[in-house]
Amino acid sequence: MEQLGDATGSALALLFSGNADLWEIIGISFRVSFVAILVSTPPALLTAFALAYLRFPGRRLLISINSTLLSVPAVVVGLTLYILLSRQGPLGEWRLLFTQTAMVLGQTVLAFPILAAMSHSALQAVDKRAWETARTLGASPLRAFSTLMHEARFGLMAALLAAFGRIIAEVGASMMLGGNILHYTRNIPTAIALETSKGEFAQGIALGIVLLALAFTLNTLLQNVQGRGQPVA
Amino acid sequence: MTFKVLRPLLSLLACLLIFSGITHAGENPEKIVRLATTTSTDNSGLLTALLPKFTEDTGYQVHVIAVGTGKALRMGRDGDVDLVLVHARPAEDKFVAEGFGEKRYGVMYNDFVMVGPKSDPAQIGSAKTAVEALKKIADSQSTFVSRGDDSGTHKKERSLWSKAGITHDGSWYREAGQGMGKVLQIASEMGAYTLTDRGTWLAYQSKLPLKIAFENDPLLFNPYGIIAVNPQRHPDTNYAGAQALIGWMISPKGQELIGGFKVGDNQLFTPSADAGEFAAFSHAH
């Protein structure tokens, strides 16, 4: 059995030698998760806006449902979509199972509740009068909406990063929906699971390092953005 | 003005879009074959060695989904893959008989071995048969790790227990529910016995403090079969691609590559396609 130190050493060597397979896996992970964030952001923002600013029947229920979805395990999302997308399922005609699109779908579903919940809090924290003022001053609803988004931008940014952090690191849904196919649907977490099961710890650790580096970069970016947002004294 | 102030968000989104490159350029679905197979063929490195050559010869890309035999057959039954390469003869025959698969072709074989701690606490090394070896494990209450995942190996293990007439319900019997490699690791951490195919064992043995404790019983024979999903039941699977892969695997070239695949100095699989079947196959397609 390799020592942790040895494995980490080989991991770094793999990363910096530009190991094509390793970087391909990293590329797939990023592509899928970026697209998933892109797809889930607009509906999540609208939902958050509705929850924060509109009063309608079932609003509280909707909040409860969304909060519940926050704690749904990725494998359950994976299994549900698997059943829907399988040839025997209602969406089987789409032939999406074991494709990157299926992974995107899974991650979109996973990202949505985080985005909606965190954006909801962010929008709620904005002074309600911002919306009314904008509207009174003759802004169109779209324009007033943009103003709100701008007021809440730091909270929204945090929501994006948190959602991205969850989906790029999740293994359950990607494994089920993508099938962990080499050069196609093998992403960082499924590759870590596979390499670990094969006893290839160096590969696993190398990919783990990439995830950590990514988390660090995103958080540093966030800190910077928020730092700039502080009012000048 | 509002759009200007939205810039941080918009630029982030734009970055995501650029990085993501949503295209699936160069992918022709007709040139993709989906193969559900077992962890033993994939984890051992066999398919990684074989499939690039198949792609070179035929232009087909193979998407390999490595799961247990039970799950692989289920995927075939549902039409989620184009063909399966598995090892559980009774389940394979049933799969074909029920009309889910078209025809089973033998591809290769290896055998199962029982591995355990180097000290062999249950003394199964002295057993004459696999059934006797299991009895010794049960009698001595030595820890045994089962795949527990309805894989071909698990099916084989269950048939051996039932032949031995043992109901394994003690705390010495652990079901892992994981792939072969993972189960070998668990067995070595727990100092336990387990049943494994020889291919995976050879690929892992250098990393594990285990040894082969029992081997060479006809009951432990482990043949692999390849079956195309029945196109009548699932017309939109890639039947032509599945046929191309089957034909290639049982062709003299594919068989030679299987026989030549080695980990270290060990040959992992013995090619066993029937020459008559290949001739009939070539004639039909």
With CB atoms and an 8 Å threshold, state whether A87 touches B20. no
Q: How far apart are CA B215 and CA B197, in angstroms?
A: 11
pLDDT in tens, B135-151: 999 999 999 999 998 88
Span B120-129, pLDDT tens digits:
999 999 999 9
Beta pairing partners, B266: B263
Q: CA separation (Å) from A9 to A25, A68, A187, A204, B229?
A: 20, 41, 22, 12, 45
The rounded Cα A63 to chain-centroid distance in angstroms is 20
**Residue B34: which of B248, B245, B223, B247 has the closest Cα?**
B245
pLDDT, residue A19, reads 82
Contact status of A182 with chain B (Cβ, < 8 Å): yes
| Structure tokens that stand for A108 in this block | 């979109």
Q: Distance between alpha carbon B19 and the CA centroid of its chain, in Å?
A: 35
Confidence (pLDDT) at A230 = 59
Cβ atoms of B224 and B230 closer than 8 Å:
no
Where does the pLDDT of residue B168 fall: very low under 50, low under 70, confident under 90, or very high at 90 and above? confident
In angstroms, what separates the C-alpha of B243 from chain A's closest C-alpha?
20
Lowest mean pLDDT among A5-14, A128-137, B87-96: A5-14
Over residues A186-213, the mean pLDDT reads: 88
pLDDT at B17 over 80: no
| Residue A145 or B239, more confident | B239
Report whether B242 contacts B110 (CB < 8 A). Answer: no
Residue B66 touches partner A, C-beta closer than 8 Å: yes
pTM (2 d.p.): 0.83
Q: Which residues contact A220 (CB under 8 A, 6 or more apart)?
A: none
Average pLDDT of the segment spanning A162-191: 93
Chain CA centroid to CA B113, Å = 16
Tell whether B70 lies on the interface with A, counting CB pairs under 8 A: no
List, for residues A83-135, the tens digit of each pLDDT value. Answer: 999 988 999 888 899 999 999 999 999 999 999 999 999 999 988 888 888 88
Count CB atoms within 10 A of the CB of residue A136.
10
**Residue A157 touches partner B, C-beta closer than 8 Å:** yes
- The verdict on B8 touching A (C-beta cutoff 8 Å) is yes
Q: Which residues pair with B116 in a beta bridge?
A: B211
Say if residue B131's pLDDT is above 70. Answer: yes
**With contact defined as beta carbons under 8 Å apart, do A151 and A126 qualify?**
yes
B-chain CB neighbours of A197 within 8 Å are 39, 43, 178-179, 181-182, 185
- Partner-chain residue, chosen from B16, B43, B185, that has the shortest CB–CB distance to A38: B16
pLDDT exceeds cutoff 90 at B273: yes
> b/e for B9-45, b at 16 or more Cβ within 10 A?
beebbeebeeebeeeeeeeeeeebbbbbbbbbbbbbb
Nearest to B37 by CA among B98, B94, B82: B82
Q: How does residue B16 score in pLDDT terms, banded at 50, 70 and 90?
A: low
Three-state secondary structure readout of chain B: CHHHHCHHHHHHHHHHHHHHCCCCCCCCHHHEEEEEEEHHHHHCCHHHHHHHHHHHHHCCEEEEEEECHHHHHHHHHHCCCCEEEECCHHHHHHHHHCCCEEEEEEEEEEEEEEEEECCCCCCHHHCCCHHHHHHHHHHCCCCEEECCCCCHHHHHHHHHHHHHCCCCCCCCEEECCCCHHHHHHHHHHHCCEEEEEHHHHHHHHHHCCEEEEECCCHHHEEEEEEEEECCCCCCCCCHHHHHHHHHHHCCHHHHHHHHHCEECCEECCEECCCHHHHHHHHHHC
- The pLDDT-based confidence of A16 (bands split at 50, 70, 90) is confident
Q: How far apart are CA A135 and CA A53, in angstroms?
A: 13
CA–CA distance, A70 with A36 (Å, rounded to integer):
16
Q: Residue B200: list chain A partners with CB under 8 A.
A: none
Mutate: best of B4, B5, B12, partner A, most A CBs <10 A = B12
Average pLDDT over residues B211-235: 95
Contact at CB, B12 and A160, closer than 8 angstroms:
yes
Nearest CA in chain A to B234: A87
Do residues B54 and B192 touch, judged by C-beta distance below 8 A? no
> B6 to chain A: nearest residue by CA?
A150
| Residue A4 confidence (pLDDT) above 80 | no
pLDDT per residue as tens digits for the range B24-80: 444 677 899 999 999 888 888 899 999 999 999 999 999 999 998 999 999 999 999
Alpha-carbon separation of residue B201 from A228, B145, B196, B225 (angstroms): 57, 15, 6, 20
Alpha-carbon gap, residue A43 to A29, rounded angstroms:
23
0.95 surpassed by complex ipTM: no
**Residues A71-82: what's their mean pLDDT?**
94
Average model confidence (pLDDT) across chain B: 89
Contact A90, A22 (CB under 8 A): no
Contact at CB, B20 and A179, closer than 8 angstroms = no
Contacts of B79 in chain A (CB under 8 A): 87-88, 92
Chain B, window 86-145: residues with a beta carbon less than 8 angstroms from a chain A beta carbon: none
d(CA B110, CA B89): 13
Band (A71; pLDDT cuts 50, 70, 90) = very high
What would the 3-class secondary structure string for chain A be? CCCHHHHHHHHHHHHHCCCHHHHHHHHHHHHHHHHHHHHHHHHHHHHHHHHHHCCCCCHHHHHHHHHHHHCCCHHHHHHHHHHHHCCCCCCHHHCCCCCHHHHHHHHHHHHHHHHHHHHHHHHHHCCCHHHHHHHHCCCCHHHHHHHHHHHCHHHHHHHHHHHHHHHHCCCHHHHHHHCCCCCCCCCHHHHHHHHHHCCCHHHHHHHHHHHHHHHHHHHHHHHHHHHHHCCCC
Inter-chain touch A182–B48, beta carbons under 8 Å: yes
CA-based nearest distance B89→chain A, Å: 24
Q: Which of B20, B178, B196, B233 to mutate to test the interface with A (most CBs of A within 10 A)?
A: B20
Is the pLDDT higher at A78 or at A199?
A78
Q: What are the chain A neighbours of B9 within 8 Å (beta carbons)?
A: 149, 153, 156-157
Q: For the residues A143-160, what does the mean pLDDT come to? A: 90
Considering CB atoms only, which of A143, A149, A197 is closest to B9? A149
Contact A214, A168 (CB under 8 A): yes
Rounded Cα–Cα distance for residues A98 and A85 (Å)? 9
Q: Which residues of A touch B78 (CB under 8 A)?
A: 86-88
Alpha-carbon gap, residue A158 to A226, rounded angstroms: 9
Residue type, A183: H
Token pair 């395990």 in the structure block, residue: A73
